[in-house]
Each structure stands twice: as structure tokens, then as C-alpha cells.
Structure 1
Amino acid sequence: MKLYLDPGHGGSDNGASGNGLKEKAINLDIALKIRSILNNDYENVNVRMSRTDDSTVSLDERTNEANSWGADYFLSIHCNSFNGSAKGYEDYIHSSLSDSSKTANYQDTMHEAITKVNALSNRGKKKANFHVLRETTMPALLTENGFIDNEHDANLMEQASWRRKVAQGHVNGLEKAFGLKRKQDGETLYKVIAGSFQSRKNANKRVALLDSKGIDSFVSPTTISGKQWYRVQAGAFSKRSNAERQLNKVKNAGIADVYILTENPDDVGEDSSSYAILGKTFLSPEHMNQFVQDINEDALALGKYYSTFGAYYGIRGDIAFAQAMHETDYLRFTGIVQPDQNNFAGIGATGPDNPGASFDTPREGVLAHLQHLFAYASEDSLPDEYPLVDPRFDLVTRGSAKNWTDLNGKWAVPGDQYGQSILNLYEKMIDASIENLEKVLNAIKQ
């Protein structure tokens, strides 16, 4: 299935705005999360996006690219605005289509799946003469995910957890509408790797080259023997024969260093340590702090605690730090947990009436976080140098989550993409640290 995913607006076009938010940023974040879920959890899905950053793309460019690529479905992500009083979710197909058309049937399925999870009032299924619905040659849907100028809807929009739920709702609809097949635990996958690089820039160049040849791919960071590599993945298949066909297609495009990586999630592979909770911390406290402060300049400097306690408990402190950024929206605390709780892991938080545990200091909050992870990742007794401050340590089934993705449905409910979201954020931290290092090296050369 070929999905053309269109985050509305971008670059010089902010779209709607309100309550300190810009539509273009909300649209992009939801769309990137949709792509991430599809790439990580589903087989034989190719996703192409009209933009993956804050760039300006015309309406004609969007529809022309989707048409020439031969997409099976065009999905445009938007937010709404009116007068501050309107609120809720609605979606659109083109006004010329009948209620019995294939596009309308897809709309029925998507609408039901999205409204199940988005916590917005339902404004219904609608039709309009929008460009992206009129000029596309494949079925197309435009979703309006709340009103950005309405305080209720905007409060949801600014929460990363809500944007993840909305993305998952879109994916749930796509799965049902197109019969997408989830990757099964223990199922062998054949990944077509069109090159591996130690430079992210070189990997991006390979992706651009493949794109020019009409082959979809993306960069997949991985750790091998303690070193960061960037693989360019051009598909993942459950059948070896399909992977071999894709391999030959990549070779015919002039890429010689392409190979098939056989991967079984139940096997201990060469890069399985990059997904384990227990392990060595690679990023320095300075890199951790710089990453979050580039996003939130008022953020606390917690890197030293995650490094120290991570080393003591044998936990990947840098990925635990990524989890904290995920839970707290980069220490902006836009959810139910408040800054004075020093609860960076959301321990015990279940809703507005129960915001979870509180800790006296940031240091104690990080210590509780690492102890909670230790309870999930290990069956050993807790080392006794530090006091037990995690109030829920004894409520955890010991050793029930060896890997970060094993936290799905345990740390966050339903949370079926929880671990993947943490690892995706960690990969961004790696990218940022490499970019900063390159800046330093260039400055030295000059």
C-alpha cells in the first residue's frame, strides 16, 4: 500500500494559529508520528510525505507528486479555526463524490477509528472542494483535528501524548480500510538495506538518490559494537522473494552496496542491545542537557543524574532521559504532572484526579525513575547504596520488560507504541549530538 501523507501548510504558510500554537507544527508532528507507527509496526506499507520539516510546499506540488508516484491513498492532516467557540473533529472528501463511493467508504472507516481516540467532539463527515481532494487521482481524505483557536482543543493539541493518540487513530483507520498487516512478534522480516553509513548526511544523500529513482526509503539509526550507524532501509518484507525483487530494483538503480538483513525479533541480533533497558549509557550529561535546552531553554539540567544513576543500576541512562523528555514534553510539563512534583517518569499518574507521585528534589525524582526501570528490567535485588524512593517498585512484575518496547501497555496504557516513541526520540538525541560535534570540528578547522 502506498500512502501519500500530507502535513498541511509549512514554511512561510503557518496555517491557523491560536493559544500560542501554529497549525503547521501540529500537522507535521501528527504526520511524522503516523509515518513512524506505520514504518515500525506494519508490513508492505510505503509512506511518502509532502514535507518532513518546516518547508514551503505548494498545493500543486503536493498533488502532482502524489499523482505521479501512483499513491493508493492521499491523507492530509490539518487543524481548524473559526471564532474561538467552535471545537471538535471533522473530516472531508471531495464534494463531487457519492456516499457510496470507495472514497466515502474509506472516510467512514477512518472517521470511526479517529473519533474513538481523539477526545474531541464529533462534528461529522463532510464534503468540500479543497484542492488536495479535487486534484488527486486517488481516494483522498482531509482531517481537521480540532480547533486551534479554541482553548479546550488547543490544550489537547499541545500535549505530545494527545498527538500520539490522534496519529494512532489515523493508523487504526488505515489498517482497517486497507487491510494492513501488522508485523508479528517472532516473525522473520527481510529488510532491504541500501547502504550503511557512519555519517547521517551521507545516509540522507542516499535516500535522496533513491527517491530520484522512484524508490522509497528512510534512515534507520542503529548501534553496532557501541558505534552509531545509519542504515538506509528500502523496505521490509515477510517473504524473502519480495525482498529479493526489491533488492534487484535497488541494484538496477545503480546502488551496489545493497543487501538483505534477516531479522527475527526473538533472536538476539547484532543490534539488540540498542533496544535493551539494561546496558551502557553512551551520551554524556552535556549532550543530554544540550538536547533538551535547545528545545526548552528553561529546562533543568538533569543529565548528570541520569548518567550517574544509569551507570549504578546498569540502565541505559540516556534512553531513560529520552523517556523523561517524552513523558514531560521536554520538561515543559504540559500534561497532568506538574513541575514541582519532580516526577519525570509520570510514576503513578493516571489522570487529572491522580497526578501521581511527588519527590522532594529533581535528583530524587530521577532516582525513582531509574529504580522503576530496574524493577521492570531485572529480577535482581535492588542495590542498596541509595534508598528506595520509587513508591511503586513492589507493584511491578519483576523482569517483565527487558526491552524498551516491552514497556508497551505497561508503563503507558494503552501505549502500544510507547517504547518505539522513546527510541525515536533517542535517535533524535543521537542526531543532535552528532550535529553539534560536527559544528565543533568545523570551528576547529577554521
Structure 2
Amino acid sequence: MIIVIDAGHGGKDGSTRGLFSKEKDVALDVAILLGQTIEKEIENTKVIYTRTEDVFIPLYERIDIANKAHADLFISIHCNSMPSSMRGRTETSGVETFVSGSGRLGEQDVAVRENAVILLEKDYKDNYDGYNPNDPESFIVLSLMKNAYRRQSIKLATLIQQQYIKVGRVNRGVKEQSLAVLARAGMPAVLTEIGFISNPDEEEYINSLSGRQEIVQNIKNAIQEYTKQLVAN
């Protein structure tokens, strides 16, 4: 089995930040720890990273890496965030996992934030078939891209959320949004938000070794359960 692990953001894409850490750094550390754990604890599994250092990788190149490798799974690691006016509050917390889909036009908040990085790419309209992250109606371009692995992606996302819940995380659910990084996936693909970096309590958790190990075990356990169910069916 080949699993591509994508550490969100990186390089000139500074992403969001908390009181003392940046999303791009947390995502990279967790992605690498996840890959190391998977290769150690899941037999016959090869891990490929979209990045292993602080560099900018266009969104379309991330999923291209997975497609060219004929990967079996694609998992993108991100941190959630609230608007700057609400930073420092602890009311908003929890984990959510996304799959590629249309969702509702007025509920594309994560897609708006995550897709904004496209504007840093030189030929972004060519790279994404005319998609413009500044145009809300343009989300239809991404939603129309065929997602042959929707059911499997939702299954994996659901298993990840179930693992988070087992250790007491606040469940924000599995959601479909028009995420550019997942739009052309030739395999089950998910983007998981491991916590709110804008929440001081969760920022501490996702930066602690124990917190990261717990997150990694949650995702690893979900992968194992997913493959177990796949074989059973």
C-alpha cells in the first residue's frame, strides 16, 4: 500500500498562526511523525511526502504526486483557525475531516481559506481549469471534477473522526467542500483539520509531543480499520 501524506501550506504560503506557532510548521511535524509511525506499525506500506521541509508546493502538484505514484490513499494535514477578531478564545475547538465535494455555496469557509494559496501560483487559472478563488460561484468548477472515490473518502474520513472522538476530541464532523488539493484525486483522499491553532488550549495540544502522538495514532488506527474493512468487503 502506498500512502501520500501532505503537510499543508509551506514556504511563502505562511498559512495561519497561533500565539506561538504556525500552521505550516505544525502540519509538517505531524505529517512526518505520521509517516514514520505508519511505516513502523503498518506492514507493507510505503509513505510518500509532498514536502519534508518548509517549501511552497502548489496545490495541484500535491495531488499530482499521489496520482503519479498510484497511491492508495492521500491524507492532507492542516490546522483550523478562527478569524483574527476571535483569536485567543477557547469556545471554538475540535476536529473535522473533509472530502472533495460541492457542499453548500454558503458553507465553503474552509475551502475559501485553503484555496486562497492558489493566488500565489503563477498560472493558477490554467492549473485549475479557470477556477478563481476570489469568485464564490467559481467553486462549481472544482465541484464538477469527477470524484470517483467519494464513498471511500467519506469512509476514511468517518473512521478518522471516530478515532478522534475516542480520545475525547470535539467532533465537528465529516464535510464535503470544494478543496482544490483534493479535486483531482485518483484515490480516496481526505483533508483533516487536527485542531484550532487559534485556540490557545488546542495550540498547546497540537504542539505537544503527547498531543501529536495521539493525533498520529488516531489517523493510523483509522487507516488500519479502513484497510481491514476493505479486505473484508
Runs of 4 or more above 3 Å deviation: 96-100
Tell me what 2:96 maps to: 90
Please state whether the residue corresponding to 1:115 is helix, strand or coil: helix
Tell me what 1:165 maps to: 214
**Which residue, out of 171, 176, 180, partners 1:122?**
171
Tell me what 1:109 maps to: 159
Aligned runs of 1:252-401 on 2, under 5 Å?
A: none
Please state whether the residue corresponding to 2:93 is helix, strand or coil: coil
Provide the identity percentage. 33
Could you say which structure has the greater relative contact order, defined with CA pairs below 8 angstroms and 6 or more residues apart?
2
Asked if structure 2 preserves the Cα contact closer than 8 Å seen for 1:95 and 1:127, the reply is yes
* Aligned Cα root-mean-square deviation (Å): 2.0
Asked if structure 2 preserves the Cα contact closer than 8 Å seen for 1:10 and 1:24, the reply is yes
Asked if structure 2 preserves the Cα contact closer than 8 Å seen for 1:114 and 1:173, the reply is no
**Which residue, out of 165, 179, 184, partners 2:228?**
179
Q: Structure 1: where are the runs of 5+ without partners?
A: 181-446
Deviations 1:7-52 (A, max 9, x none): 1011222211011110011111111111111111221101100011
TM-score (norm 2): 0.72
CA distance in 2, matches of 1:143, 1:173: 12
The alpha-carbon distance between structure 1 residues 109 and 164, as it changes in their structure 2 partners (threshold 3 A), is: same
Tell me what 2:192 maps to: 143
Asked if structure 2 preserves the Cα contact closer than 8 Å seen for 1:110 and 1:177, the reply is no
The alpha-carbon distance between structure 1 residues 168 and 20, as it changes in their structure 2 partners (threshold 3 A), is: same
CA distance in 1, matches of 2:25, 2:209: 12
Asked if structure 1 preserves the Cα contact closer than 8 Å seen for 2:3 and 2:45, the reply is yes
Q: CA deviation at 1:99?
A: 11
TM-score (norm 1): 0.38
Deviations 1:262-318 (A, max 9, x none): xxxxxxxxxxxxxxxxxxxxxxxxxxxxxxxxxxxxxxxxxxxxxxxxxxxxxxxxx
Q: Structure 2: where are the runs of 5+ without partners?
A: 103-146
Indicate yes or no: 2:31 matched with 1:25.
no
Tell me what 2:60 maps to: 60
- Amino acid in the other structure paired with 1:70: H
Asked if structure 1 preserves the Cα contact closer than 8 Å seen for 2:149 and 2:188, the reply is no
The alpha-carbon distance between structure 1 residues 100 and 13, as it changes in their structure 2 partners (threshold 3 A), is: closer
CA distance in 2, matches of 1:124, 1:94: 14
Indicate yes or no: 2:42 matched with 1:42.
yes
- Amino acid in the other structure paired with 2:160: M
The alpha-carbon distance between structure 1 residues 18 and 178, as it changes in their structure 2 partners (threshold 3 A), is: same
Q: CA deviation at 1:179?
A: 2.7
Asked if structure 2 preserves the Cα contact closer than 8 Å seen for 1:99 and 1:105, the reply is no
- Amino acid in the other structure paired with 1:25: D
Deviations 1:240-272 (A, max 9, x none): xxxxxxxxxxxxxxxxxxxxxxxxxxxxxxxxx
CA distance in 1, matches of 2:228, 2:11: 34
Asked if structure 1 preserves the Cα contact closer than 8 Å seen for 2:163 and 2:222, the reply is yes
Please state whether the residue corresponding to 1:131 is helix, strand or coil: coil
